[in-house]
Structure 1
Amino acid sequence: MTSALTPRQFADFSAFIAQHLGIKMPPSKQVMLQSRLHRRLRELGLDSFAEYHERFFRDEAAQADEIEHLLNLATTNKTDFFREPEHFDILAREILPRWLQQPTGSVFRLWCAGCSTGEEPYTLAITLMEARARQSFEFSILATDVSTRVLQHARTAIYSEEQIAPIPQPLRAKYLLRSRDRQNRQYRIVPEVRAHVSFGHLNFLAPDYGLRELMDVVFFRNVMIYFDRPTQTDVVTKICHHLRPGGHLFIAHSESLQGQPLPLRLRGPAFFQHEPSALRT
């Protein structure tokens, strides 16, 4: 098998990925993409990157069959339970109590935009289950991602002992089921939590996200780092179209929306309130 992806081949794949996902693929990502494509070539029984490149860009039928696999390979899916935990505290201690005092509907609606393998939406569900033990309310969580591979994993709700390590022990006892086979050390989120989370495929470059309900809270964390600035602005603008006025948007602490023309007001560390009349310029 050819040992390296050529710069021209990488440039073609990089441009295709940027066009279809908005994900930046600078030359520093060539080794990563090459490694991931190695595995795909073996699955297809191909002998070289040149053969894969030719098949992908010259055969429309082959590209249609392969595009989902390539886009899955292009996405990075680092996530954890209770990642940046202060955001979940803010949700439970500040945002939810205000919503309970003046509910905007019969259901508290959240959207985990870029949910990866499911740790974040299940963390949101566990956080709200804990709050619901103190005061009854209904909630629903929509979790979306562009990668069909990670969505399949997320729907199973099965995680290794290492993956569940950030979950506090009392919450593990309440919300996780351990495998009956004690040797495989796997855990599954309990049905009561899973029932509140629905998963769907969504590409942030799509012109219409197709959401039927306005959201009270959106978690859009550790996604923008893969987009250039114009794409960031475009995507967050579309997210705001699905965020209820007065609703809240969370981004990662490593990300910034500073200077972008968006209808958002900073309310705390990496979280914003949707104020359509306060368009930032």
Structure 2
Amino acid sequence: MSAYLTRADLRAAASSSTGQHLDALRRLVHERTGIVLPASKATMIEARLRKRFTDLGLANLQAYLCTIFDGGQLNQELPHIVNALTTNKTDFFREYPHFELLEKRIIPEALARARASSRVRFRLWSAAASTGAEAWSAAMVLASAATAEPRLDWRILGTDISTEVLQTASTAIYSAVDVAPVTEGHRAAYLMCNGNRARRLCRIRPELRSRVRFRKMNLVETPYPVEGGIDTIFLRNVLIYFEPQMQARIVGACAEKIRPGGYLIVGHSESMIVKEPGLAQIAPGVFRQEGGQ
């Protein structure tokens, strides 16, 4: 599924009357991203697009919709619309038990599988990375484990549909409020902070940044252009925004990338969504791929 609009898309959108533009926008977002925006979300849509139409000097959402649909600006504005309407709620070490499981079970299992003298390859994918807090939290856990076990060769891929949040993730600069959940030990080891307490900014250290990369990817566009054999996929708190058929499709596409014995981790409230054959639940939001040791 392409994020680029065809001429047919443009003609259909342009033919809509002003009163139908919001419905057309909701349908378009659903088609391109899989995200469901019911009619009851009209106020939320306006609030999220307000900064964009204000930046363009437009008085209100109606003027913005007329401009993009009737003015032929839909292709140009689509990335801004996706950035604004995708949910980007994330925190460092959110749903902490998942990171505790990574530290105390998943990484030790990977080390135990390998011979004592061999390099241990470990790959983690943050599939709805948002601003990067999840990926960087996992990076701190993995880096800490690698300090004790230097043979642990870890890498992280973070993906998201929003180019705006990916820019933040790649830059890896956060406020003191953002990094408040990070422990003092991890903060000292993996963050570089400056400024006074009220205006302090912190950046992830280069040794972690060299092992983590981010790129744009749309979860509804399967199969995924991601290398297989992944040890752990974090797919947390994103499935709830999709319809059941798309949820199953996304979970199945992720399962194809997980090595035997590897893990899929979803949000605590999303456990009931995962019904993929071969994935066995072992904890709230945590599923293990069949096979392996």
**TM-score, length-scaled by structure 1:** 0.89
Match of 2:10 in 1: none
Residues 21, 66 of structure 2: 8 Å contact kept: no
RMSD: 2.1
Q: How many angstroms apart in 1 are the aligned matches of 2:164 and 2:60? A: 24
2:187 maps to 1:175: no
Displacement of 1:106 after TM fit?
4.6
Which is further off, 72-81 or 105-114?
105-114
2:202 maps to 1:187: yes
Residues 220, 251 of structure 1: 8 Å contact kept: yes
Displacement of 1:208 after TM fit?
2.9
Which deviations, in whole Å up to 9, do the C-alpha atoms of 1:170-194 show, x marking residues without a partner?
2111111112577631111111111
**Measured at CA, do residues 103 and 10 of structure 1 come closer, stay the same or move farther in structure 2, by a change above 3 Å?**
farther
**Measured at CA, do residues 192 and 69 of structure 1 come closer, stay the same or move farther in structure 2, by a change above 3 Å?**
same
Unaligned runs of 5+ in 1: 1-5, 277-281
Displacement of 1:47 after TM fit?
3.6
Match of 2:62 in 1: 50
Which is further off, 46-55 or 105-114?
46-55
Which deviations, in whole Å up to 9, do the C-alpha atoms of 1:202-230 show, x marking residues without a partner?
00111332113421100110111111111
2:280 to 246, 258, 265: 265
Residues 110, 218 of structure 1: 8 Å contact kept: yes
Q: How many angstroms apart in 2 are the aligned matches of 1:223 and 1:48? A: 29
Residues 89, 130 of structure 2: 8 Å contact kept: yes
Which is further off, 185-194 or 102-111?
102-111
Q: How many angstroms apart in 2 are the aligned matches of 1:7 and 1:36? A: 19
- Within-5 A mapping of 1:246-265: 246-257=261-272, 260-265=275-280
- Within-5 A mapping of 1:150-161: 150-161=165-176
Displacement of 1:237 after TM fit?
0.6
Unaligned runs of 5+ in 2: 1-17
**TM-score, length-scaled by structure 2:** 0.86
Displacement of 1:107 after TM fit?
1.8
Residues 225, 255 of structure 1: 8 Å contact kept: yes
Q: Which amino acid aligns with 1:194?
A: R
- Within-5 A mapping of 1:57-72: 57-58=69-70, 60=72, 62-72=73-83
Match of 2:29 in 1: 17
2:213 to 198, 207, 210: 198
Residues 127, 160 of structure 2: 8 Å contact kept: yes
Residues 176, 199 of structure 2: 8 Å contact kept: no
Q: How many angstroms apart in 2 are the aligned matches of 1:17 and 1:249? A: 27
Calculate percent identity across the aligned residue pairs: 37
2:41 maps to 1:29: yes
Structure 2 residue matching 1:41: 3-state secondary structure: helix
Q: Which amino acid aligns with 1:219?
A: F
Q: How many angstroms apart in 2 are the aligned matches of 1:179 and 1:148? A: 27
Residues 123, 156 of structure 2: 8 Å contact kept: yes
Match of 1:243 in 2: 258
Match of 1:119 in 2: 133
Which deviations, in whole Å up to 9, do the C-alpha atoms of 1:220-243 show, x marking residues without a partner?
101111111111001111111111
Match of 2:148 in 1: 134
Match of 2:91 in 1: 80
Q: Which amino acid aligns with 1:57?
A: F
Q: How many angstroms apart in 1 are the aligned matches of 2:157 and 2:126? A: 6
Paired residues in the alignment total 270
Residues 233, 262 of structure 1: 8 Å contact kept: no
